[in-house]
Amino acid sequence: MNILVINSGSSSIKFQGIEMPSEKVICKGIVEQIGSANARLSYNTNHINIQETGGLETHKDSLQRVVSLLLDPEKGVIKQISDIHMVGHRVVHGGNSFSKTTIINAEVKEKIKQYASLAPLHNPHNLQGILLAEHLFPSVKQVAVFDTAFHQTIPLVAQKYAIPNMFFTEHQIQVYGFHGTSHKYVSERAIDYLKLEKSKIISIHLGNGCSMTAIVDGKSIDHSLGFTPSTGLIMGSRSGDIDHSIIFYMVNNLGYSVNDVENLLNKESGMLGLTGYNDLRDIQAGVEKGNTNCILAMEINAYRIKKYIGSYASIMNGLDAIIFTAGIGENSSMLRKMVCSNLDYLGIAIDHSKNEEVAKEIREINTSLSKVKILVIPTNEELEIAKQAYELLE
Ligand code: AMP
């Protein structure tokens, strides 16, 4: 069975064709910067590696081009549309409605639309990917895998905000949690790798969005993103934790509208606001050149992660392993080193030469004396989505 996994974002569509249950990747790629002059598509199979530009003005153009490549007699991997047996979609916000992977129907689409107000940067684009895929694969089952689902185990004590109860009971204002597909995937891999029966793990997902999860015996018990994907760690362009009074101050005293502030905190803050750069590679290059804004931004970033490590070790009353994952977590030895330094009190000791090694597989970067394992685990949300979609059929 072939499952096509689609992760449709604001300006990109990531896709992967995965044969199940063998988990063999038959094709993968990404269309980036859709609609801009720099729009480009990369498409890989085990015999071909294509980069294209042009004709990628909209998400519709982009997905259509992907499908025509899949079907291409030379470059393709399928003969006909019906060779794709299921399409699995990443959906960021499923609120309290979805604790599991779900077959998409009109009601599910309506819910995803409703939750767009809680994840305005993600849900509308996830839904657009679903609608396009329904059009391109009309008789194929479409499945939604929600980033929030893994966090449905977060207990009330961590789920509720200290605001009047009716906001929780009547308006479902609470911690939801995100990046669940990634946290679930890497924590399961860690538990397998370390052969742990009982486990206390902190998973640190550092990509464009960044979050941390406290995971006890495979279950999420607390998480740094909350009602929306905006709290906690410092992200590419999102501020993470701030004193919410700053919002009122900007509106009441600095002449900003509420929409301006929302935009500012989501799209112009974080590492971008601190340095002028969104991509950590540029910021690291700035550090090498002695750019003081970049140096301080890296320190603020690492400091915030450390604070969450301390707080999660304390709520779990112990710690077996921390996991670094996603674009930054997997690749930035600089940030990993800054985060793990001076944590010997917690039994965390990084091996600096192992930290510098580059590998695409799960690896341990702690010293042999470290009480806590430090793991770098490449996330694979696409495989996790395919696995969950496949399980739905079994
Ligand atoms: P993701 O959301 O997991 O795709 O992560 C994307 C982010 O990872 C980019 O915005 C970069 O900041 C970061 N990234 C990717 N490659 C590297 C690298 N080699 N070193 C440091 N950061 C990286």
Instruction: Look up the CATH number of the domain holding residue 98.
Output: 3.30.420.40
Interatomic CA distance for residues 329 and 323, integer angstroms? 8
Residue 118 pLDDT? 85
User: What are the backbone dihedrals phi and psi of residue 328, each rounded to the nearest 5 degrees, phi first?
Assistant: -80, -45
CA angle 359, 360, 366 (to 5 degrees): 50
Same domain, 218 and 359: yes
Range of the domain at 274: 180-376
User: Could you tell me the distance, in angstroms and rounded to a whole number, from the CA of residue 328 to the centre of ligand 1?
Assistant: 4
Same domain, 224 and 371: yes
Same domain, 272 and 137: no
Same domain, 78 and 192: no
Interatomic CA distance for residues 123 and 117, integer angstroms? 8
Q: Say if 154 falls within a structural domain.
A: no
Same domain, 247 and 110: no
Q: Which has the closest alpha carbon to 240: 150, 300, 322, 316? A: 300
Residue 360 pLDDT? 87
From the candidates 61, 147, 260, 320, give the one annotated as an active-site residue: 147
CA trace torsion 72, 77, 82, 84 (10° rounding) = -130
Same domain, 6 and 80: yes
What's the chain's length in residues? 394
Q: Say if 51 falls within a structural domain.
A: yes
CB < 8 Å & 24+ apart, contacts of 340-347: 340/374, 343/306, 343/309, 346/309, 346/310, 346/313, 346/319, 346/372, 347/319, 347/371, 347/372
Same domain, 184 and 142: no
Interatomic CA distance for residues 385 and 203, integer angstroms? 18
- Closest residue by Cα to atom 23, ligand 1, is 328
Residue 10 pLDDT? 84
User: Could you tell me the distance, in angstroms and rounded to a whole number, from the CA of residue 282 to the centre of ligand 1?
Assistant: 10
Same domain, 311 and 228: yes
**243 catalytically annotated:** no
Q: Say if 383 falls within a structural domain.
A: no
Interatomic CA distance for residues 341 and 352, integer angstroms? 10
Q: Say if 172 falls within a structural domain.
A: no
- Nearest atom in ligand 1 to the alpha carbon of residue 379 is 3
Q: Say if 164 falls within a structural domain.
A: no
Residues 6 or more apart whose CB falls under 8 angstroms from that of 357 comprise 363, 365
- Closest residue by Cα to atom 16, ligand 1, is 327
Interatomic CA distance for residues 205 and 369, integer angstroms? 25
Same domain, 362 and 217: yes
Domain endpoint, select from 103, 130, 146: 146
Interatomic CA distance for residues 266 and 364, integer angstroms? 34
- Closest residue by Cα to atom 8, ligand 1, is 327
Q: What is the domain count for the chain?
A: 2
User: Could you tell me the distance, in angstroms and rounded to a whole number, from the CA of residue 210 to the centre of ligand 1?
Assistant: 11
Same domain, 37 and 88: yes
The finding on whether 328 has its CB within 6 A of some atom of ligand 1 is yes
Q: Say if 320 falls within a structural domain.
A: yes
User: Could you tell me the distance, in angstroms and rounded to a whole number, from the CA of residue 208 to the centre of ligand 1?
Assistant: 7
User: Could you tell me the distance, in angstroms and rounded to a whole number, from the CA of residue 327 to the centre of ligand 1?
Assistant: 4
- Closest residue by Cα to atom 15, ligand 1, is 327
Interatomic CA distance for residues 321 and 5, integer angstroms? 30
The finding on whether 280 has its CB within 6 A of some atom of ligand 1 is yes
Q: Say if 163 falls within a structural domain.
A: no
The tokens for 107 are 């009601």
Q: Say if 289 falls within a structural domain.
A: yes
CB < 8 Å & 24+ apart, contacts of 79-84: 81/136, 81/137, 81/140, 82/139, 82/140, 83/2, 84/2, 84/3, 84/4, 84/17, 84/137, 84/140
Q: Write out the chain's pLDDT in tens, 394 residues.
A: 999 999 998 889 999 999 999 999 999 999 999 988 999 999 999 999 999 998 899 999 999 999 999 999 999 999 999 999 999 999 999 998 998 999 999 999 999 999 998 888 889 999 999 999 999 999 999 999 999 999 999 999 999 999 999 999 999 999 999 999 999 999 999 999 999 999 999 999 999 899 999 999 999 999 999 999 899 999 999 999 999 999 999 999 999 999 999 999 999 999 999 999 999 999 999 999 999 999 999 999 999 999 999 999 999 999 999 999 999 999 999 999 999 999 999 999 999 999 999 988 999 999 999 999 999 999 999 999 999 999 987 6
Q: Are 98 and 149 in contact (CB under 8 A)?
A: yes
The finding on whether 326 has its CB within 6 A of some atom of ligand 1 is yes
Same domain, 122 and 217: no
Residue 99 pLDDT? 87
- Closest residue by Cα to atom 18, ligand 1, is 331
Helix (H) or strand (E) holding 29: strand 24-32
Pocket test for ligand 1, best of 279, 376, 384 (most atoms within 8 A of CB): 279
Same domain, 108 and 229: no
Interatomic CA distance for residues 213 and 204, integer angstroms? 7
CA trace torsion 266, 267, 271, 272 (10° rounding) = -160
The finding on whether 329 has its CB within 6 A of some atom of ligand 1 is no
